[in-house]
């Protein structure tokens, strides 16, 4: 009952409070997320379970992102995740007679950029400095500094390996 209550509060009330410090305090203390200094989670984020979320420093998760933490989700430093991105860490074994659940961790490396409405499937690792184009469906690991796009996502380019920026971004009421 407590877990369901926590999720209800996180997804339906706290996610819509227009102040970062209130949301981050709730996510850290009640949802048991580890969120680094300077990082932010904009309004409308959706969680599937408490715990299992680690976010580095100066990372921005924009509005209405789904953060499935059932199989653990680790996001590095200076990562920019655009609006309405869906990151899944759990699914079902469609070959299982009992339709058994499966959980696989997702990791996103430092300086990665995930475009709007991208979908990252369970078990995927996004390398340091990698870019996922908007609307892509990532079914496989993405090598560091690689740009991927499409459905399913495939390599379409590369990115400079000399990255040195701060992805911290906050707006007053987001």
What pLDDT shows up at residue 3? 74
| Residues whose CB is less than 8 angstroms from the CB of residue 51 and which lie 6 or more positions away in sequence, other chains included | 31, 32, 33, 69
Asked whether the predicted pLDDT for residue 9 surpasses 80, the reply is yes
**Which residues are registered as beta bridge partners of 155?**
148
- Contact yes or no for 5/35 (Cβ under 8 A): no
Asked whether the predicted pLDDT for residue 44 surpasses 90, the reply is yes
- Contact yes or no for 113/131 (Cβ under 8 A): yes
Residue range 133-149, pLDDT digits in tens: 999 999 999 999 999 99
Asked whether the predicted pLDDT for residue 36 surpasses 90, the reply is yes
- Looking at domain 2-158, its CATH class is mainly beta
Asked whether the predicted pLDDT for residue 170 surpasses 90, the reply is no
> Per-residue pLDDT averaged across 53-78, rounded?
97
Asked whether the predicted pLDDT for residue 88 surpasses 90, the reply is yes
The string of DSSP codes covering 106-148 is EEE-TT-EE-TT-EE-TT-EEPTT-EE-TT-EE-S-B-TTEEE
Residue 29: count of CB within 10 angstroms of its CB: 9
What pLDDT shows up at residue 4? 83
- What residue spans define the domains of the chain? 2-158
Asked whether the predicted pLDDT for residue 1 surpasses 90, the reply is no
Collapsing DSSP states into helix, strand and coil, what is residue 70?
coil
Model pTM? Answer: 0.94
**Which residues are registered as beta bridge partners of 92?**
101
Asked whether the predicted pLDDT for residue 102 surpasses 90, the reply is yes
Catalytic residue set: 92
């Amino acid at each position: 009952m407590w877990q369901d209550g926590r999720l209800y509060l996180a997804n339906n009330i706290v996610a819509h409070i227009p102040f970062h410090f209130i949301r981050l305090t709730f996510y850290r203390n009640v949802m048991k997320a580890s969120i680094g200094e300077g990082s932010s989670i904009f309004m409308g984020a959706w969680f599937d379970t408490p715990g299992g979320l680690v976010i580095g420093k100066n990372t921005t998760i924009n509005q209405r992102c789904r953060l499935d933490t059932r199989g653990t989700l680790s996001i590095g430093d200076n990562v920019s995740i655009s609006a309405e991105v869906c990151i899944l860490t759990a699914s079902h074994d469609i070959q299982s007679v009992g339709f058994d659940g499966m959980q696989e961790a997702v990791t996103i490396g430092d300086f990665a950029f995930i475009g709007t409405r991208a979908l990252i499937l369970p078990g995927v690792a996004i390398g340091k400095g990698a870019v996922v184009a908007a609307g892509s469906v990532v079914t496989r690991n993405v090598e560091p500094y690689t740009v991927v796009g499409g459905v399913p996502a495939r390599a379409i380019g590369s990115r400079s390996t000399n990255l040195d920026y701060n992805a911290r971004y906050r707006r007053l009421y987001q």
